[in-house]
Every structure is written in structure tokens, then in C-alpha cells.
Amino acid sequence: MDEATARIEELRDLIHHHDRRYHVDDAPEIPDADYDALLSELRVLEAEHPGLITPDSPTQRAGAPGRATFAEVRHRVPMRSLDNAFNFDELRAWTDRVLKRLDDSVAPVTWACELKFDGLAVSLRYEDGLLVQAATRGDGQVGEDVTANVRTIGDVPDRLFDGAPAVVEVRGEVYMGLKSFADLNAVQEAAGAKPYVNPRNTAAGSLRQKDASVTATRDLSFWAYQLGEVVGGPQQVSHLETLEWLESLGLPVDVHRVHFDSVDDLVAHVATVESARHDLDYEIDGVVVKVDDLRLQERLGFTARAPRWAVAYKLPPEERTTRLLNIEVSIGPG
């Protein structure tokens, strides 16, 4: 291996490491200027040795040339929706149905809880640890190819860490944090342009830009919550164990995930989330509750549209106060 090749590989490993520390662990080890210097050195070396550029290089993500194709992508494992519960009575009724289906052979049932980010569902396909395709959910059977745009999202690794299986499809949510949304609207207003309405619609629109360099300016985020197709991966026994495995591969997962053996404790947690939603730096529209045991999930199965082992508790819409400035009365003819 010559000196240039060795240095390029070293720089890529360093940058991937610091990407994890920044985006996944939330514990950066070096200043932004030092990170930028590493990336700049890598760009120079790759420009001098273009034959050494690989798809998983950090230089091939944010701001890199690329256009989304929006070609149809058929999901190998359907991306189903979730049934909803709109109040605590409906949430308890759902847990009752689950327990009734499982009868008395299982006790207690552990309930896994995650925040329901208000964003756009996507599926990321990795082969031998490399990101090869990203697709929207679409109708659950067929989505759209948004690979070029997803590569611009800092939270999405181009290359998973050691231990990645031959194939793993990761389902998750693309969203825009509140600070990123405010910063984007500040730029809009400074340019005399119309501000965006809300983070969710802005994230969805940003992900569907034809030019990926536009998406790269939108500071989108991602978190993983489920597996699709997996070939050659380890056997997990619980949903929360699966999330820990995804995190070990370098993917961000919900840091607020918890589990309960008591339905009363589960309901109390949802009430706490509802009262604390304004303390978060992103918008949520609910809490997703799942049966944690994957063997029990398999026993419960699916309806035509949704899993029986999961439900989305939907938080009530946020109430906002509007100040009335003026009333103009006009009288029409007649």
C-alpha cells in the first residue's frame, strides 16, 4: 500500500469515528475546525488520486453532486403503518387486546416505548456495511428512491461499523430539529422569502428535492426504530436489544427509549411525555408502544395494514394562541 492510499484510508477512518462521536454519541472529541481540516485534506488527496474515491468516502456525502431519481423501490419487507390510540382508554384497550391474544401463557408482558418523531419514514439498505439505497415508505409496498438526498444527512452513516451483516434494511424517520427549522426560516426571511410552515413538511419537502445539494443545506436528522430485511445478522430476542445493536453499528436511535412491565407505569410515562414535549429540540406527535419480546411479536402477527404488537399513542395537537390585530367590515352590494 503506497503512502497516499494509506493516508486516505486513515483519514476516512478518523472522519467516520468523529462522525459517530458527533452525530450518535453526542460527544465530539475535536473542534469543528480540526474536523474540517481532516475533511479538506481527504478532498485534496482524492482529487490527486481520483481512482481511490469510493462510494462510502465522507467526501461523497453532504454537498456532493447528485440528483435523486425518485424511481420506484419495492420494499422487500412491507413498511406498514401503525394503529392509533388517541386517549388513555384506547391505549389500555389496546394492551387488553394484546394480553387477551397471548392469554395467560405469558406474564408479564414488557412494553417498549419510543418517541414518535414527526417526520418522514424511510428505509435504508446496507450491503456489506455500505449504504446502497434509501427509499421513502410510499404506500408501504413501493416507495421512491431518495438515496442521493439521504446521503447528505449527517446522522446517516455511509458505512456501518464492524459487525454489519451481509444485508440490513433499517427503518427510521427523517426529521428537522426545531433549531434547524428556526435557522432555515431566518435565512428565508432575510432573503425576503416566505417562511416555511412547520418542521415536518419542511423535512419532507427537503428530502424530495431533485438536487441533493439543496437537501444538504437543510440540516436534516435521522433516527432508526426498526429492521426490515436482514441477511446474516445476529438473532435478537427483544426490540430494545435490536435498537442497541443498531446503535452499535453507528446508527442513531431514540435516547428516550424505556420499557415497563406494568400498564399503569406505561400510561404514566405517556402522560409525562405529553407534559414534557416542549422541552425537546424536535417535534413529536406521539409515543410508539411495542411488545418488546420479538417472539411474542411473531405470535401476535399483523392485520391487513398494521402490526398487532405496536400502537401509536397520538398526542393532542398543540394549542397556539393567535392575536387578532384588526377587523375590517365590508358591505357587499344588494
Kindly indicate the confidence band of residue 322, based on its pLDDT and cuts at 50, 70 and 90.
very low
pLDDT digits (tens, 9 = 90+) for 254-294: 999 999 999 999 999 999 999 999 999 999 999 999 999 99
Kindly indicate the confidence band of residue 331, based on its pLDDT and cuts at 50, 70 and 90.
low
Domains, the chain, ranges and CATH? 3-59 (1.10.287.610), 81-314 (3.30.470.30)
Across 74-91, average pLDDT: 94
**CA separation for the pair 46, 58 (Å, rounded):** 11
Beta partners for 168? 126, 230
pLDDT digits (tens, 9 = 90+) for 129-184: 999 999 999 888 999 999 999 999 999 999 999 999 999 999 999 999 999 999 99
pLDDT at 62 over 50: no
Across 300-304, average pLDDT: 89
- Please give the grid coordinates belonging to residue 192: 425576503
pTM of the model: 0.79
Across 202-225, average pLDDT: 94
Is-contact 28 21, C-beta < 8 A?
yes
Q: What is the pLDDT of residue 273?
A: 97
**CA separation for the pair 216, 209 (Å, rounded):** 10
pLDDT at 4 over 90: no
Kindly indicate the confidence band of residue 207, based on its pLDDT and cuts at 50, 70 and 90.
very high
Across 220-244, average pLDDT: 96
Identify residue 72 by its one-letter amino acid code. E
Is-contact 312 85, C-beta < 8 A?
yes
Q: What is the pLDDT of residue 63?
A: 34
Catalytic residues: 116
Name the strands in the sheet holding 221-231, side by side, starting at the edge strand that comes first in the sequence: 130-136, 120-127, 167-175, 221-231
- 94 versus 321: the higher-pLDDT residue is 94
Strands (E), the chain: 72-74, 83-85, 111-117, 120-127, 130-136, 142-144, 167-175, 221-231, 258-260, 284-291, 310-314
pLDDT at 69 over 80: no
